[in-house]
Amino acid sequence: MGAAPISTAAGGAPAPAPAPRLPAWTMAAPLALLAVVPFLPVLANGFVNLDDHANFLENPRYRGLGRPQLSWAWTTHWLGAYQPMAWMLFEAQYTACQLNPEGYHLTSLLLHALTALAAYSLTLTLVGRACPDLLNTNPTGVVLGSTLATALFLVHPLRVEVVAWASCQPYLPCIALAALAVRAYLVAVEAAPSRYALGLIGAWALLALALLFKATAMALPAVLLILDYYPLRRLGGGPGRWFGPPARRVWREKLPFFALSLVFAALAVQAKQSTDSLVALEQRGVLFRIAQACYDVGFYLRKTVWPTGLCAYYPVPNGFGWGSLPVQASAALVTVASVAVFRLRRRHPGLLATWLAYLALLAPNLGLVTVGNTIAADRYSDLATLSGLPVLAAVIARLTGPGRGRAPITLAVATAGLGLLVVLGGSSWALCRTWRDTVSLASHALSQGARAPEVYLGLGWGLQQRGDLAGATATYRAALRLEPAHVPALIRLGMVRLRQGHLGEATELLTEAVRLQPEAPETHNGLGKVFAARQRLDDAIAQFTEALRLRPDFAEARSNLALVRWLARREVP
């Protein structure tokens, strides 16, 4: 038999040998394992008094998977959030492990591994769409670049909060489902016409599921439009490409996505209003909120590049505003970055698309709708940071591509990448240990400069649970020195002084709390306890009754009222 024919390119030259390929699936298991290892210390952690006690230890409504629990999950705004799928997940965990925190933390680790696979899959898909030449010339580099970029995201200390904090667990499935929704959209718009509509429905369903876990994914439809600009190039690029006939289909197909996000945005605001946690515009004006938005963008960029000083609570700094240096520095950084990527948009459209997606995903948590007294939170950076992974993966793939003289560069990139993984993973391991309990968490926040009444309250509560009433008293007094009219601190200190037998001071503290917040049932319940201890049973009955009028389902006040009425009847001659 004759020799097999040699395939040739145009002009008779031999066709280049195909680049070696590393199957993408081979990196899935290592990434999932890498997502778990740096966070293993969380398995020894307990619940913390940062929503965990209110969500789990003091909340009998979620305990089980019966009809009452499922109905409650889909109708509640507990602690100011509408997250029915999250509550169903918590109900399943309670059914499996009751109130053992190890079970909840193990679930978080497994969900983080799922996030690893979703983020990796999306990164690979986006690099393939944006850089098809890389898939032909360096497919193995694309796989390894996507792996390293995803791995750096997974082990970064900014991920610790969502993995180590049980109450923060819903962010994990939300992020994973959001990544899968974007990937499903990318596949759908390039699929055959017969599969196009089904693909869009799948992307919409995945977004709906993500929002049912956490409303933080509400900006995803804007990201889909950005992807239509680049790398899909379905919008922009010439006359009529934004609003001409071909573009109208692109805009129309987004309407169900935007409608879904608007519904969940309204539900999120309604849930926050139900807890009175929204900060009124009169308290923090428009200029303050814009300053916070600029500060937050710079804050998350800095913490991503240099993750030091991370903690569970970032209070609003004193004197915060446009006159403060951190705000001015962040505003300058955002301005310079925005101008730079805009000017580079023709040569490097991916940079502009990445920057816009990053800003869009951060937008719901930039303080324009202000909740509480915090300026930022580590968990808010997670979804937005995903937008930068394809750029990082593409850069790594180009640096390590085939060619003469590339071996030293490849070795340097691999060494630097492994070194960063070790450093970031070690930092995450150490930070996980600060979530061991409430005292450890609050003490760490104070050591990082987070001196706010809420932090002292957490520390005081933890000390109180340990039986250290003297330490709790000193801590609550420290909170009141920062803010003398802080009602929760007045209540906590009043209760501790009551346990220590200082009834006069306890009465003064709780009376002041009632004066400051007469519509808060907790203040009346606390003052009722003090009156009961002082044998002023009629006054105690009046306070417990008022607490129940303000909150008819206040179980502790109802129990206290029943006990005091029983004592009052026994004293009747």
pLDDT tens digits for range 119-128? 999 999 999 9
CB atoms within 10 A of CB 64: 14
User: Is the model's pLDDT at 282 over the cut of 80?
Assistant: no
User: Is the model's pLDDT at 10 over the cut of 80?
Assistant: no
DSSP state of 235: S
Cα→Cα distances 311→281, 326, 382, 523, Å: 27, 18, 15, 30
User: Is the model's pLDDT at 130 over the cut of 80?
Assistant: yes
The predicted pLDDT at position 309 comes to: 94
CA 441 to CA 455: how far, in whole Å?
9
CA 63 to CA 85: how far, in whole Å?
14
475: closest CA among 353, 549, 510, 466? 466
35: closest CA among 434, 417, 421? 421
213: closest CA among 96, 68, 87, 380? 87
Q: Hey, what domains does the chain have and what are their CATH numbers?
A: 31-433 (no CATH), 439-571 (1.25.40.10)
Per-residue pLDDT reduced to its tens digit, 477-509: 999 999 999 999 999 999 999 999 999 999 999
Confidence band, pLDDT 50/70/90 cuts, at residue 285: confident
Note whether 54 and 89 are within 8 A (CB). Answer: no
Note whether 77 and 204 are within 8 A (CB). Answer: no
Non-local (6+) Cβ contacts of 173 within 8 A are 85, 86, 89, 111, 114, 209, 210, 213
Question: Average per-residue pLDDT in the chain?
Answer: 90
Residue type, 527: L
Buried b (16+ CB within 10 A) or exposed e, 119-131: bbbbbbbbbbbbb
Residue type, 452: A
CA 61 to CA 52: how far, in whole Å?
14
